[in-house]
Structure 1
């Protein structure tokens, strides 16, 4: 399937219900007719499974069929008529064929014309810049020239690109490289690493297992294979552990019956240490800092974290957090120096659900990037965000809880048991501030976010939930949903008045289209400059932030901004378009250039998070677009969404 067909399936998988052809067309940047063609092609590829249902409401993914399709799809015979599959198979053959391959024999084996093979070889050459490999041709014989390490890297990169986006699946690696022992090997590997006192990054483990499978496969296919050696820049920063080396060698021999040489093992150890493990899961922070963290790394991270704390008014001054982030940063730097980044399947969800946490991570990454002269991609930023988010989560306070009053007339110990169950099951969501055990309730005197009552109130009211004396699962679900709504409305109420003050009718644009992301930022920036809100430096800062990581935080909304809060006043220039525009890897219909002043620093977190949250629901955004014919109607629609 093409990348757009794969993206269409991913979107249908996340959608809660039917999706129209128009919505998919906007998402993919194609016509509804093309969407219908994609659906037809996907159905044909999945036959006899009924993968996508079609109807008047649009398209709906059959999740059971999708699960079956993704399970059996990699086991199907290779379709060499597909250019991408043919390219992958050609690279596999060139990698295995040390003596070279005859192009005419290749064409015959793959049932394609000589000209098709020649075109495919051109596509192979396009993959090779910066790979350390090259194609050599003598007459009709073509061969791949380069080191064993570079061959394996190319195979690894192509396999990851061919795999479904997200978490690299262990089963797919096993099928591709005929390594049925890989799952058991992984179990023993994790046990070994845990025993030796390492934290294990499960998201990076399968990428290393892919290299193990390739190494075992390559050694098994060649009589005298060249060893894969660690990249010098990795090897120079990664101390070899004799204990880990011996244990890894023994595990590979046990599970695969293959003895990898010292170069292979050293390379795998380097991958483990820079992508999977962090030392010290059994050590206190002081020992970690003294034993494993470099003093210069600690100093750099401490300085950057201090800057982030000051810029965003959050408390990150914690030795445990700084030490563990430092250990992660050292591995990140090692990976970035050789452009071998770790994929993070949670990047999209972190960016959408926790935009402020992600923004903090972008700030940290940008300072690291500047200091180390490296490039840090979105996946690596998301890993930093996971560290930041985990630390901030530990700082959450009980005042964020929803307060409730329990109304349960006294009957033996029934009221006691009810309160105990509510506090046990819902203690993370609610704080019980009072309990009424009388039947003559003064309902107007109950002051809490929610009232949970076992008796009917005289008049139904918002925030009053009738529950059973013996709490049911249905009661628990309703209470949780009500608590979530209270928190959302509370957060939105806190910023609604401030947020509305940041809009200016002269900075509202309807159906405004100009080129790409940078052109849009420059145009909106110019308008804000004419109003005296920002200067040229702020526009450059917004462009720099955009190049660091796309500010398309949802499928609908882009929020370009600079990381320095140097605006004269906090203001938002907003564009609302009927048709989406490309923005990074997304397509957005709403663009909001936000300029923050130093005086508005305290409100930055709340405004940023809640503004993004308003635009996470596509149906809400579509309603906003349809109803926002001018600035007053936009404000009315936005208020309605924030009060929803």
Structure 2
């Protein structure tokens, strides 16, 4: 049984007599000292003594009511890790491990094990715990300690913008609101453009800076203030410095002012992109960034068979890339609270962003983190959503009897109501029907037609009524479903094939499984063995496994002989990064058919996003069953 305040109280309440310390120690598998510490903690919650102690052991004091709430003690390692790290960060003196063990109500050996694990997690911040006999303290550069503090705050606000509701250790809510109002006022005064993410990043930096200065933890570093002294960002930083010193009764030295300037520079623009065009962009942004962005966009278009991006996207994306370079230079990244949602909900768009991040490696020599990758996905996704408004529209011919243009109101009404679903490509008089080549999904007409064709014909009234609209809508829905179903069946058969479908196909690790699948695809002349290295390089950038139990390993290259999908469905899951995976979809692409392959990828992702679809696919026992089930789900997905 795991010990906790509630668990200990339950044992004692169920026993009306004394409970021996040895029994409690054995029951909870802890030392008698730990039992004593928990008893002291519960009793310290009030001036009353709730648990009596004697040589007989412990029992509840029946004359005193138990409190409604007992102050929560860190019980899991994660809770203790957070507590210990915060104590090390907030303490300007050394800490006794015996006192720390007593505070946490754990044994010395448990604390020693905790400290070993914490030391490992601190290495990513270039920090260490120094132990001298029974005294510990945190060792490392002040800037790295602040990065650690930032990570703690970000972890507490993982699913949303930083609300600062969980950082009472560093600032109260009145101070937070004051900072927001002042920053917005200052940035407006200096015509500095800062989005919500950038503003939160700046506020977070200021909050941590104020707290550390108050605790005499100042950045002790020789800096060259001349590097930033003549910039607009430095003028703004000085303005902020004056306000902070007056409000919080602190003194901000040059070293702190320098890094405040860098954080502002990395999270803001000195121009409004609405005034920028492709003709004058070089007046605002250095030409190097413009050329890099153009190269990135060109490669993105080629790799994913995308139509050319427009001028507005080029401008916005160039500004973003320029600011990203600044953040990399200053080692100051913007946090994106929606990383997991973007990655799991829009995996294709996220994959495009990973491709861009990988291309940026040639210029930055720095791996772009997932927060920044998600911001790139923001730009790509919002653009694709706009240009895809016409996607999957049903093509239509409108055939009419030419009589005083009476057909025009009907056409106008139909095109207006179905502008998102119907593309009227031809409007033809009944007398010209014999010369018509029928290449369309649907014919809408105000007359009876005798056409020998499989194309569905929707006859409507010359004065379109509600029944006509309902009939057209139902026909469009049916056509879309059928179109998708037929296309998916054809594409699935082309890119998968019976030899690439496996049930209960296991390996010791994800990498070994990928290796085995690649080797088989190589034997089928679909790729060569170097494809394995490309897939593993992609995995290093960001795991391709998702919480819904699916992994989609793939490469960012299009070097294969033929595009393919290798499918594995397992009854037992395999650990893949942080997720348990039962379905693996190895994707290989070639340059020749990447446009067609993109369509099937879109449909596949839409299906794999729904957990209910995943569970249905788990039940497929063979290739034919899989193709049939997948096709049916596409029809349902489009309904």
TM-score normalised by the chain length of structure 1: 0.71
Counterpart residue number, 2:262: 270
Counterpart residue number, 2:155: 161
Q: Does 1:570 align with 2:563?
A: yes
CA gap of 1:260–1:550, structure 2 versus 1, over 3 A, is: same
Counterpart residue number, 2:453: none
Counterpart residue number, 2:295: 303
1:71-110 matches, within 5 Å, as 79-110=73-104
- The answer to whether the 8 Å contact 1:208/1:271 transfers is yes
Counterpart residue number, 2:583: 590
Counterparts of 1:288 and 1:113, CA distance in 2: 67
1:363-378 matches, within 5 Å, as 363-378=355-370
Once the two structures are superposed, what CA deviation does each residue of 1:81-116 show, in whole Å capped at 9, x if it has no partner?
343333323223322332323333334444444444
CA gap of 1:354–1:453, structure 2 versus 1, over 3 A, is: farther
Counterpart residue number, 1:347: 339
- The answer to whether the 8 Å contact 2:534/2:557 transfers is yes
1:152-301 matches, within 5 Å, as 152-174=146-168, 177-222=171-216, 225-227=217-219, 241-253=233-245, 256=248, 258-275=250-267, 279-281=271-273, 283-285=275-277, 289-301=281-293
More contact order relative to length (CA 8 Å, sep ≥ 6): 1
Unpaired stretches in structure 2, ≥5 consecutive residues: 1-68, 399-408, 428-443, 451-455
CA gap of 1:204–1:97, structure 2 versus 1, over 3 A, is: same
Local SS of the residue matching 2:562: coil
Counterparts of 1:378 and 1:452, CA distance in 2: 52
Counterpart residue number, 1:641: 633
How far did 1:531 drift? 0.9
Counterpart residue number, 1:629: 621
- The answer to whether the 8 Å contact 2:445/2:459 transfers is no
How far did 1:600 drift? 0.5
Local SS of the residue matching 1:168: coil
Q: Does 1:522 align with 2:515?
A: yes
Counterparts of 1:404 and 1:183, CA distance in 2: 56
Counterparts of 1:568 and 1:437, CA distance in 2: 47
How far did 1:324 drift? 3.2
Local SS of the residue matching 2:571: strand
1:431-442 matches, within 5 Å, as none
Q: Does 1:386 align with 2:375?
A: no
Aligned residues: 536
TM-score normalised by the chain length of structure 2: 0.71
Local SS of the residue matching 1:382: helix
Counterpart residue number, 2:136: 142
Once the two structures are superposed, what CA deviation does each residue of 1:165-208 show, in whole Å capped at 9, x if it has no partner?
45433322357633432134224423433554444332343343
Once the two structures are superposed, what CA deviation does each residue of 1:438-486 show, in whole Å capped at 9, x if it has no partner?
9x999x84279xx9963499xx979439xxxxxxxxxxxxxxxx97x97
Counterpart residue number, 2:145: 151
Counterparts of 1:491 and 1:213, CA distance in 2: 53
Counterparts of 2:229 and 2:479, CA distance in 1: 50
How far did 1:381 drift? 1.6
Counterparts of 1:76 and 1:183, CA distance in 2: 32
Counterpart residue number, 1:446: 458
- The answer to whether the 8 Å contact 2:549/2:582 transfers is yes
Counterpart residue number, 1:23: none
CA gap of 1:592–1:103, structure 2 versus 1, over 3 A, is: closer
In angstroms, what is the RMSD of aligned CA positions? Answer: 4.4
Local SS of the residue matching 2:559: coil
- The answer to whether the 8 Å contact 2:558/2:588 transfers is yes
1:393-408 matches, within 5 Å, as 393-396=385-388, 398=390
Counterparts of 2:139 and 2:146, CA distance in 1: 13
- The answer to whether the 8 Å contact 2:567/2:583 transfers is yes
Counterparts of 2:617 and 2:268, CA distance in 1: 44
- The answer to whether the 8 Å contact 1:170/1:206 transfers is no
| Deviating more after overlay: 149-158 vs 137-146 | 137-146
Counterpart residue number, 1:543: 536
Counterparts of 1:539 and 1:280, CA distance in 2: 45
Unpaired stretches in structure 1, ≥5 consecutive residues: 1-74, 407-415, 466-481
Counterparts of 1:588 and 1:326, CA distance in 2: 38
